Chains A and B, each alone.
Chain A
């Protein structure tokens, strides 16, 4: 398996623009997580899905952030409008409960909002 795939790997955008981050989890995994990593706040869980259903979105910073999982092999995290404080590395991770919950992380998307 290719592992968790994220795109794009790098995104530079201007304040106010819409940003869409994409994730393809490992086939067969039933949980998908979106994390954000910054120096100041560390690694934060934004939202997670189980079988494509959002379970906990309490970590989503505000209404500018939204996440979807239309099917088992694709998820998006959208920021609209983007702000400079959204600059961070965004990781997607997937796991399979039957394997004990080990999370497999994607390579991340480094977002810079100017």
Chain B
């Protein structure tokens, strides 16, 4: 099936370090969503980006949508152990309500 690449696949950081995950598409997107899944849990919605070049912040999390609406990033400043989990982007296919989830980036935070 279709897959959206996210990089990196895994990231281990020391608590207090920053973390960034990237989501790329070969096509222009309608919008992009980000989700977090804790180990053993289910995906939980974080944010949706719609506009070209959009930047949104949620406390230590910063989300960006590329100018061409083909890529996005999630940056976490000063990671904490509560940030552990897998972060997914989800891309909406234009003209549909179908979302394709990225491969995910698994974040481990070492105390």
Hey, which bits of chain A sit against chain B, CB under 8 A? 31, 33, 35, 41-45, 48, 50, 55-56, 59, 91, 93, 97, 100-108
Contacts and interface: CB of A to CB of B under 8 A. Distances in A.
Contacts of A50: 97
B97 A55 contact: yes
Contacts of B35: 103
A105 B101 contact: no
Which bracket fits the contact residues of B? 20 to 34
B101 A91 contact: no
B39 interface: no
B97 A31 contact: yes
Nearest to A92: B42
Nearest to B41: A107
Highest count of chain B CB atoms <10 Å: which of A42, A56, A91, A93: A42
30 contacts: A31-B97, A33-B99, A42-B103, A44-B1, A45-B99, A45-B101, A48-B97, A50-B97, A55-B96, A56-B96, A56-B98, A59-B1, A91-B42, A97-B97, A100-B48, A101-B48, A101-B97, A102-B33, A102-B48, A103-B35, A103-B45, A103-B90, A103-B99, A104-B45, A105-B42, A105-B43, A105-B44, A106-B42, A107-B41, A108-B42
